[in-house]
Amino acid sequence: MRRLQNVLCPGCVLLLLLPSASSLSAQTPAGSQSYSAVELRTNPKWWDFKHNYRPVNVPKNDYADSTRLEQLIKGGNIYLSLRDAIALALENNIDVQNQRLGASIARASVLLAQAGGAVRGTTPAVAAAPSSATTGTTSTSTTTTAATTSSSTGTVVQQTGTSIPNYDPTMSVTSNFSHTTTLSSNSVVAGNLASVVGSKNGTFSLSQGFSTGTNVTVGYTDLIRRDNSYTDIFNPARTASFTFRITQNLLQGFGRSVNNRNIEIARNNVEGADLTFKQQVITTVTGIQNLYWDLVAFNDDVKAKKQALETNQKLYNDNKRQVEVGTLAPIAIVQAEAAVAASEQDLILSQTRVLQQETVIKNYLTHGTPATPEMLSAHIVPTDPIDIPATDQVLPMQDLFSQAMSSRPEVASARITVANAQINLRGSKNQLFPTLQLTASMNDNGLTGINNDLPIPAGTTFVRRSGDSYFTGGYASLLGQLFARNFPDYAAGITLSLPLRNRSAQAGYVLDQLTLRQNEIALRKQEAQIRVEVQNALIGLQQSRAVLASAQKGRKLQELTLDAEQKKLTLGVSTIYNVILVQRDLATAQSAEVTALANYVKAKVELDRATGNTLANNKVSVQEAFQGKISTPPTPVPQK
């Protein structure tokens, strides 16, 4: 038995020096994306003590824009393709940059949980893209639908249930010196009227908690005492003790599944942070697509407004010549002038809307305001036209639903939230148990010293005994007693703490169950919402194609009507006023066609987002987006 004890004690000391079974590295959970983040050395060598007290510095934010934008500038214009617009948004957009920090936050929370701390911190919420400029305004709002901004990361900040052990070993070292003088009127007991004691005391302890609900403490105490009492056998005397204490939770706080729940939640949150970043990428790509196609449509609208102005200007010039020769009444000039003024106003509004849209896009493709005056004043020239296919290749509705459920990050995030609530429920359920702790301890004691050589006062009857030679010696003899375990102490006990009403634990368990039920409802609502979004996106695509076809026919009809009305005017069977009205109708029809074109292509963008195909259809790599460097080279600018 003694041999077993001699092996057990040093083994427990070595056990405390090794990393805890739950103190694993902050690895990425299986199934999640492997995005690099702030490097945290979570499992250094046990002897590398200096590393444990060095700060891990987070790099400062870099607001420098990528060089891609500069390569697209030529002659005061930014020749921008949709592919380059997407790349610039992923490289420079400040919302994407902010979301990259979410991965580091989640991984740092894993390290905190592995040390026994509560999960804290949240990843940034998904930021919506700005809306396009509107005619007659100088501001752009950033309101979007909830479908593009909702985010569920699965992050749990508040810890409920039983407390988590501290998995990081804690070492405590104390050393002190004392010199005390005690006056006493009883010299028989004290040995002197003035007792002078000098002592040097040193203590060392090492403790650690384990995921099984076990806490182990190893301690060592060393005391050297010297005094002026002639009654002591040894003076100076040295005592020491080695202590091993273990406490095991048997009910509340027992088991790895309970004590490792925060680690599981933190690892789930790593996957949740990656999903939130992916959702931010989807939102950003969708936003820049809508902004880009709106800019294309706004430029087409400017062309239509210029054409209407040229037509009205020609009509004004023709009417002016006819008035001068007397073939038309002077009122015809006034009518033509009014038409020209209205066309000029429409053109100015359309041109300013283009400028506003360019400002919105520049802000979205950079870290805020463009860095150089050249970039600030440059006009954006979209190089990709709106392409309308003859037919829309769309999968059956049920296939679209399945595709959305497997591709949309919101669904996976909501499922992580449910999983975290289920994990958190373990702690609340375990807290219903009473506290039952088993405590066991072993102490090894030792004593050595030098025989007291202080003289015995004359006239006293005190006879000092000589010290046993086994206790006479120095520190080596003291250690020999400790390791030989000549003077052991043993103790064991059980402590039961039983809350008589236990209302707090019951309420906590009910509240966590209700939270789980709410999260399950939120998941089901998310799935239902996605089905609605897919169905509405498909209906919107069908409607936009029908509206586009109608707008194209309406524009052709107004072109033929204007041509016929102008011929009537030449023959004298129509009036200037009728021609102006038809010209206005044509301008309205042209604007309606431009709007219908933009709405159609944005309906396709929305269908991609609703079905989770945005990244695949635009060949976007989430890994490259996280690194902030898109490998696709910039599109060559036109030579002319």
CA 231/CA 197 separation, integer angstroms = 13
Beta strands in 395-502 (DSSP E): 435-451, 487-497
Q: How far, rounded to the nearest angstrom, does the alpha carbon of residue 250 sit from its chain's CA centroid?
A: 37
CB burial of 559-587 (b: ≥16 within 10 Å; e: otherwise) equals: eebbeebbeebeeeebebeebbebbbbbb
| pLDDT score of 408 | 95
Contact 203, 220 (CB under 8 A): yes
Contact 449, 238 (CB under 8 A): yes
pLDDT (tens digit, 9 = 90+) per residue, 541-554? 999 999 999 999 99
Contact 367, 95 (CB under 8 A): no
CA 384/CA 401 separation, integer angstroms = 31
| pLDDT score of 42 | 53
For the chain, the farthest-separated pair of C-alpha atoms sits apart, in whole angstroms, at: 156
| pLDDT score of 577 | 79
Question: Which has more confidence, 205 or 189?
Answer: 205
Q: In this predicted structure, which of 323-332, 366-375, 476-485 has the lowest mean pLDDT?
A: 366-375
CB burial of 418-449 (b: ≥16 within 10 Å; e: otherwise) equals: bbbbebbbbbbbbbbbebbbeeebbbbbbbbb
Task: Work out the number of other CB atoms within 10 angstroms of the CB of residue 222.
Answer: 18
CA 159/CA 167 separation, integer angstroms = 17
Q: What is the mean pLDDT of residues 188-201?
A: 77
| pLDDT score of 149 | 42
pLDDT (tens digit, 9 = 90+) per residue, 247-277? 999 999 999 999 999 999 999 999 999 999 9
CA 274/CA 282 separation, integer angstroms = 12
Contact 126, 276 (CB under 8 A): yes
Could you identify the residue written with the tokens 């690892």?
Answer: 267
By three-state DSSP, how is residue 429 classified?
helix
pLDDT (tens digit, 9 = 90+) per residue, 119-142? 876 778 899 999 998 865 443 333
| pLDDT score of 5 | 43
C-alpha distances (whole Å) from 202 to each of 173, 175, 216, 447, 594 are: 7, 4, 20, 15, 86
By three-state DSSP, how is residue 609 classified?
helix
Closest to 115 measured CA to CA, from 75, 158, 165, 73: 165
User: Would the pLDDT of 389 be above 90?
Assistant: no
pLDDT band (50, 70, 90) for residue 190: low
What is the dihedral sign for C-alpha 505, 511, 515, 521? positive
Q: What is the mean pLDDT of residues 49-71?
A: 84
Phi, psi of 108 (to 5 degrees): -65, -35
pLDDT band (50, 70, 90) for residue 232: confident
User: Would the pLDDT of 212 be above 70?
Assistant: yes
User: Would the pLDDT of 35 be above 60?
Assistant: no
User: Would the pLDDT of 412 be above 90?
Assistant: yes
C-alpha distances (whole Å) from 509 to each of 96, 113, 212, 522 are: 38, 22, 22, 20
Where exactly are the structural domains of the chain?
A: 170-209+214-252+435-497
Q: What stretch of H or E contains 240? A: strand 234-249
By three-state DSSP, how is residue 56 classified?
coil
CA 11/CA 476 separation, integer angstroms = 22
| pLDDT score of 455 | 79
What is this structure's pTM? Answer: 0.83
Which percentage of the chain shows pLDDT scores above 70? 85
